[in-house]
Each structure stands twice: as C-alpha cells, then as structure tokens.
Chains A and B, each alone.
Chain A
Amino acid sequence: MFEPFTDVVPSFFGWLNQGPLTLTIFLHTVIILPMIWIYFQEKKRLENEN
C-alpha cells in the first residue's frame, strides 16, 4: 500500500509523498480546512449581531 522511499534520506514529508500530489494536497487541505471552522464562527457572530 505504501510507496517505497526514493529520496536519499527518509523523512516525514518524504513519507507523505505517496504518489502524484499526495504531499501537496495534504498540506493544502490542512491549511484550508480550519477556514470552515472560522466561517461558521463568523456566521454565528453575524447572526448574533442582528
């Protein structure tokens, strides 16, 4: 299931590199996801203000 390392030294980020784009999609996801939480917090605040 897991791809073997091809780089010189194994590392966490090298391990996330499991095939086309896995590493970068993972990083993009963890950056974007918390914005959903911020969105709902702000939505609640706006509703309370009304």
Chain B
Amino acid sequence: MANKSVWSDNRFWQRSAAWVTGFASVLLIWLTFDTSAQISMGNDADLQNGVTKRVPGPTVINYKITYEMSQKRGHEVPIIGGNDGKGMSLFQEKETFFGRDDWSEEEAAELLHLGKLGTQAKNCMNCHTLLGNGAYYAPDLTKAWLDPAWGPNGSMQAMTGKDTKEEAMAEFLQHPSQYPTHERMMPNLGITAEEAKGIVAFLKHMSSIDTNGFPRNFAKIQGAVHGK
C-alpha cells in the first residue's frame, strides 16, 4: 500500500473516539459538580438573609410567591416575599399556609418530604408534567401554585368552596372525581388529608424554583393574578 490516508485509518478514528468520549465525560462531570452546588436546596437562614437560591429552602412556604419579569435575567423569575421593583426578591412579605406563616425548618422540611414522596407514590408524573417533564395528559404543575384558577377569584377555588388556595388544592387532591373540571378527570388516588397538605407544600415549593423563565408568560392572558 503506497499512501494510505489517515482519514480511512481505523486507529485514527478509534483514538479520536476514545479522546472525544473521555473528554466529554470529564467535562460533564465537572459541569455536574458546578451545577450541583447551584441547585442544592437552600435553608431558612438563606431566606432570612435575603440570599436568592435556585431551589429555596422548604420554609419558602411561609412567604408570598409570585412570578414576575426580571430585567437583569430577561425573563420571569419567582419572586419570594415581594419585589424590589427590579425583579429581585425582598424576602419580606409573608403568606399563611394552612393558617400559619411560621412553619419551622423541621416542620416545613417534613411536609416537603411527605409531598415529594406523595408525588412519586401517586404517580403524578404519568399524567402531569413536573418542571415540564412527565406525561401530557394533564396540566403542567411547575407553577400550579400560581395558577389563577386556584386564586381568590379562580374557578377551582370557587368549586371546592374553600377560602384559601392551599385548602382548595388539598380538597381537590383528596376528592378529585367529585370535582369534574373537564371531560378528562383526575382519578381518586386515595390521597389522605395529611398527604394532600404535603403535596400542596411540594407544589408551593416547586413554584419558587428558578426555572430560567419556564413557562413563559405564565397566566399573563387572564389578567395576570400574580404578575403584572
């Protein structure tokens, strides 16, 4: 063989494949460390000290949460405890959750733990989407806590006959087939009152996660209950 081209040489491609795979894997591991540090759950002290975390601590359920445009970020972000006017959270304004706005770190964490277990045990993800992932048979739950339907003038809250958002959601979760909202109904999954409380806490917590502006223009059409 006179002049064999490197381009048709197996060893060249084999070594290239090994290099590319190895290096991409190393980069992914590096990125994973970087991301893991940024997505670890915050704690109560962060909320007290006004530290913005991508995933706030469980006691975020004591605060009012909204979803508003941030000039700096260029998209909507969760605003916790009031807006400083520039799209940053003030961590001031509280909001009662099942009648209290002083859930301790342990209590809130326990509630969130129960709620997260509940969402898995009840298989929420195989009808709904969480953070946009799951099945597409039922509405996305990423910002369900902020949905105008559950708000003071919302149809869902009115239907359950409850006075607050959390109570309305908990009531619906316990007896979904009593409240047919659409031809497509949610089945009864045997969710207890305590589990429902946990799941609502999970939903409120999830709405406070910074999802880089997903979903876009959430609830803007219907008069924007929480936004502008």
Residues of A whose CB lies within 8 Å of any CB of B are 6-9, 11-13, 27, 30-31, 34-35, 38-39, 42-43, 45-46, 50
Could you say which of A12, A38, A46 contacts B15, with CB atoms under 8 Å apart? Answer: A38
Given known contacts A8-B210, A9-B38, is B15 in contact with A42 (CB within 8 Å)? yes
Given known contacts A9-B38, A13-B31, A38-B16, is B6 in contact with A46 (CB within 8 Å)? yes
Known A8-B54, A31-B23, A46-B9; 15 more pairs at CB < 8 Å: A6-B72, A6-B73, A8-B38, A9-B37, A11-B34, A11-B38, A31-B20, A35-B19, A38-B12, A38-B16, A39-B12, A42-B12, A42-B15, A50-B2, A50-B3
A30 to B30, CA, bound (A): 15
In B1-49, the 8 Å CB interface with A consists of 1-4, 6, 9, 11-12, 15-16, 19-20, 23-24, 27, 31, 34, 37-38
**B19/A34 in contact, CB under 8 A:** yes
A3 to B73, CA, bound (A): 13
Contacts of B210 in A (CB 8 A): 8
- Of chain B, the residue at the smallest CB distance from A13 is B34
For the side of the interface on B, what is the size category?
20 to 34
10 nearest CB pairs, A to B: A42-B12, A43-B6, A42-B6, A38-B15, A9-B38, A35-B16, A11-B34, A46-B4, A8-B54, A39-B6
Contacts of B53 in A (CB 8 A): 8
Contacts of B37 in A (CB 8 A): 9
Contacts of B161 in A (CB 8 A): none
The 10 listed contacts between A and B (C-beta, < 8 Å) are A6-B74, A8-B38, A9-B38, A27-B27, A35-B19, A38-B16, A42-B6, A42-B9, A43-B6, A46-B4
A7 to B210, CA, bound (A): 10
- Of chain B, the residue at the smallest CB distance from A37 is B19
- Of chain A, the residue at the smallest CB distance from B10 is A42
A6 to B77, CA, bound (A): 12
A7 to B31, CA, bound (A): 15
Contacts of A38 in B (CB 8 A): 12, 15-16, 19
Q: How far is the CB of B17 from chain A (nearest CB, A)?
A: 10
A39 to B210, CA, bound (A): 44
- Of chain B, the residue at the smallest CB distance from A5 is B72
Q: Does B160 contact A (CB under 8 A)?
A: no
**B1/A50 in contact, CB under 8 A:** yes
